[in-house]
Amino acid sequence: MAGVTQPKVSRVAPPQLVDWAREGRIRIPPFQRPYRWEASDAERLFDSILRGYPIGNLLMWRKPAPAAEVSIGETSFDAPEQPAALWVVDGQQRLTTLVGALTGSEETVDRRFRIFYDLREEKFLSSPHSHRPREHWLPVWVAADNRRLLAWQRARPWLSDHEFELCDAVTTAIRTYEIPMYEIEGDDEKALREIFDRMNTFGKALKRAEIFQALHSAPLDVQPSDLDTLRVRAAGFRFGDFSQQVLMQSVMAVRGGKVDRDFRQEFRDDADRQDAFARTEKALRVVVDFLRTEAGIPHLRLLPYALFTPVLTRFVALFGRPDERSAELLRRWIWRGAVVGAAPQGNTVALRRNATAVADDPVASAGRLLALLPPGGESWRPDLTQTALNRAQGRINVLGLLSARPVLLTDLDQADGDHYPRGTRVDQPELLQTMLDGHERPLREIMPGGGRGLANRIAHPVGTESVGSLLLGGGNESGADESGAASHCVDDTALALLARGDHERFLKRREIALTQLISGHVQRMALWGFADGPEIEAWFDQPDDIWGDHDAA
């Protein structure tokens, strides 16, 4: 055994990891593939902690780290120089989830860090930023802090004895759970690679080459200070790959003025540049969450027009997350603009005019954006010949298909080892990425070579079986999967037509169904025919004497 490097083995509780993160002792290199977990993974992690189940090991490389502003999850820390920092080699997903959730707050945007324990259902759950948590949902960031927990409980005197006991069980588990941690010190990278190869990884494993390349090539300042770094950081939102052009426009929109001015001459110094990029990243995170949860757009490639991103980023930087009336009007602006064209004067002119319209008041700003759209749209009907994503109409069509909440018609195994069973929603970020990446026409044909545009296509990741056979059951003992087929807008009658080879009538029936589906979805989002002014309650939010003395006459 002489000459063999042995790692230091210890056990660490989640609150200790949070403390180390705040001290700048823990460093997470900006991997080429960023944080990947789903909200369900985070829920399962905390459920395992509560039950005392193993969640895997952490592998750390102890080596120096410079002073920097470090981000883990949505939380940023001013980290001093560390002679012996712990660089995460294996366990990034778990550690990011723990630190992100335990340092969260009511303002946290990313659903994966908004984790609660439902005291009535007795389970962990996640909640979007747009949804108000129920009073009996215990936030994990509250459970991690004794003073906050006591204040939370005092504000709920109606909690039962059993619910108080559940609070104690959750908090005790989070504070005392021990995670095995292996530390390699020095430059023995050979030993580190060997340990990494032999360790079992909990969750979604990262490739060894990605880890070690990131450890050697990571910039010392991990905060975004240029467009390339901002692009990597934004990839962590799992919304798609933002172009440098859109990111540059977003930075300029956050700073105000003409968004098409000279970017190279924009910043006074490094501090000014870093502040601008940090503000833009924070605003973009909220924009992505708004597009997903309020506008129903789950991926960047399905966003009908690129200018929506910088304009919304400016809105968020000025007013915070859109809510209530402003959120409603902005959703109408996006969807009406998708149909009638958000940039009739050309992208540069339209971007400048729309960005300038955002000022002073959130509701008034949203109203001005709506007023800039060209007229028409009330009688719009979908063009089912459009299936490519290089045109807004093709994106609207795919969004319409996704509004029916389509599911996988067969089990799907990914190259990276992920497994998705039949019945999984197609609009999950990882599945959408699989479906959209590298495909100008990402929809699969039901009958190869059958033509007829969207009527002959469904939203489904590529698999080995033909779509037609999948819709008909693919050899399952139960026969055709009506519920799965219905999620792809194929009803029982259409299935029967497909089964007996009456393709022409099948396609005609599906054309009618898709037209109704997409038209209805667009109308629900755009709400043509509805008043676009402030809510009627705002008419009465006036001083008492606005009517003068007329009533007294």
When pLDDT is cut at 50, 70 and 90, the band that residue 553 belongs to is very low
Highest mean pLDDT among 3-7, 59-63, 186-190 belongs to 59-63
Task: Give the pair of three-digit tokens for residue 403.
Answer: 């509004």
**What is the model's pLDDT at position 220?**
35
For strands 412-413 and 419-420, give the pairing: antiparallel
Residue 418 burial by Cβ neighbours in a 10 Å radius (0-12, 13-18, 19+): middle
Per-residue confidence band for 69, with pLDDT thresholds at 50, 70 and 90: confident
Mean pLDDT of the chain: 83
Q: Percent of the chain having pLDDT more than 70? A: 83
pLDDT value at residue 196: 60
Q: Which two tokens stand for residue 282?
A: 């924070």
Give 467-509 pLDDT, tens digit per residue.
Answer: 888 888 754 444 445 578 999 999 999 999 998 989 999 999 9
60 sits in which H/E element: strand 58-65
What local confidence, expressed as pLDDT, does residue 535 receive? 67
Q: Return the pLDDT at 213.
A: 46
Q: How far apart are CA 51 and CA 48, in angstroms?
A: 5
Mean pLDDT over residues 511-527, rounded? 95
The answer, yes or no, to whether residue 223 has pLDDT greater than 80, is no
| Those residues with Cβ within 8 angstroms of residue 238's Cβ, 6 or more apart along the chain or in another chain | 34, 36, 429, 430, 433
Output the pLDDT for position 187.
61
pLDDT at residue 264 greater than cutoff 50:
yes
Q: What is the pLDDT of residue 29?
A: 67
Looking at residues 517-533, what average pLDDT do you find?
A: 93
Amino acid at 180: P
Three-state SS at 139: strand
Least confident among 1-10, 236-245, 319-328: 1-10
% of the chain surpassing 90 pLDDT: 44
Strand order through the sheet with 82-90 = 8-12, 179-185, 58-65, 82-90, 26-27
Token pair listed for 360? 């002073």
What pLDDT shows up at residue 5? 57
Q: Which residues of 469-507 are buried (b: 16+ CB within 10 A; e: fewer)?
A: ebbbbbeeeeebbeebbbbbbbeeebbebbeeeebeebb
Round to whole Å and give the CA distance between 84 and 324.
48
Domain regions of the chain by residue span: 8-217, 227-372, 392-526
Question: 229 pLDDT band (50/70/90 cuts)?
Answer: confident
The model's pTM is 0.72
pLDDT band at 173 (very low <50, low <70, confident <90, very high): very high
Rounded average pLDDT over 225-244: 83
Give 419-435 pLDDT, tens digit per residue. 788 888 888 877 888 88
